[in-house]
């Protein structure tokens, strides 16, 4: 029975699946700028996500999820609020420059402006950074979200001269490119690809 409803559905199903997959737009990293002045590093990026500001905000304000979207972070978690009631975070990153490998700790707090902006400020007394400040801004755009990210960093550890700054800049850029699609997957309630 070549014209049964079951056979017609089987014939149409691949076309429907193809159409649905083409409607899902992948995240788009639009711009990455990395600057260095001695020990001071600054990264700015913009990326568009096929996800709502609310869902992206939920992912990026939850440090328990950070190890799921970037391999640079070996350990990360939310910490109980400080005496001022600000949510706190802990993260440990790992990185290598040739044979020199180091683990870097960041402890700090979040300043939250729900669904508009998150700022993560590291406490230098409890971290391996003299300065580490990240800001995520969420702007609705074309049914998704434009995420504007800014990161300022001054390490409080020895960086091997010549190659060290090059590797830090490269790691910042490569980590951002890989993280974009994983962040989007988490924001959409999906498991990010490894």
Kindly report the CATH number assigned to the domain that includes residue 35: 3.30.530.20
Residue 18 belongs to some domain of the structure: no
Residue 16 belongs to some domain of the structure: no
Residue 167 belongs to some domain of the structure: yes
pLDDT given for residue 92 in this prediction: 96
What is the reported pTM?
Answer: 0.80
Residue 31 belongs to some domain of the structure: yes
Residue 152 belongs to some domain of the structure: yes
User: Exposed e or buried b for every residue in 56-83, given b needs 16+ CB within 10 A?
Assistant: bbbbbbebebbbbbbebbeebebeeeee
CB of 154 closer than 8 Å to CB of 40: yes
pLDDT tens column, 100-146: 678 899 999 999 999 999 999 999 999 999 999 999 999 999 999 99
Measure the CA–CA gap between 164 and 19, rounded to whole angstroms.
47
pLDDT given for residue 21 in this prediction: 35
Residue ranges of the chain with pLDDT lower than 70?
Answer: 1-25, 97-98, 100, 160-177
Residue 6 belongs to some domain of the structure: no
Measure the CA–CA gap between 64 and 78, rounded to whole angstroms.
6
Q: 70: domain range?
A: 25-187
pLDDT given for residue 136 in this prediction: 98
pLDDT given for residue 65 in this prediction: 96
CB of 154 closer than 8 Å to CB of 160: no
Residue 17 belongs to some domain of the structure: no
Number of domains in the chain: 1
Measure the CA–CA gap between 148 and 115, rounded to whole angstroms.
13
């Amino acid at each position: 029975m070549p014209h049964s409803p079951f056979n017609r559905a089987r014939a149409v199903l691949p076309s429907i699946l193809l159409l649905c997959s083409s409607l899902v737009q992948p995240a788009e990293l639009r711009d990455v700028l990395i600057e260095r002045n001695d020990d001071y590093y600054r990264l700015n990026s913009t990326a568009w996500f096929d996800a709502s500001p609310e869902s992206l905000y939920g992912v990026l304000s939850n440090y328990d999820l950070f190890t799921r979207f970037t391999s640079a972070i070996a350990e990360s978690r939310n910490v109980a609020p400080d005496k001022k009631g600000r949510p706190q975070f802990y993260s440990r990153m790992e990185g290598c420059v040739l044979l020199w490998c180091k683990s870097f700790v960041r402890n700090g707090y979040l300043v939250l402006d729900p669904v508009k902006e998150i700022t993560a400020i590291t406490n230098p007394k409890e971290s391996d950074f003299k300065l580490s400040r990240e800001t995520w801004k969420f702007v609705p755009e074309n049914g998704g979200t434009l995420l504007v990210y800014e990161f300022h960093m001054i390490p409080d550890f020895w960086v091997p001269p010549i190659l060290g700054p090059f590797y830090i800049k490269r790691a910042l850029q490569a980590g951002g490119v890989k993280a974009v699609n994983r962040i989007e997957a988490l924001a959409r309630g999906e498991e990010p690809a490894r």
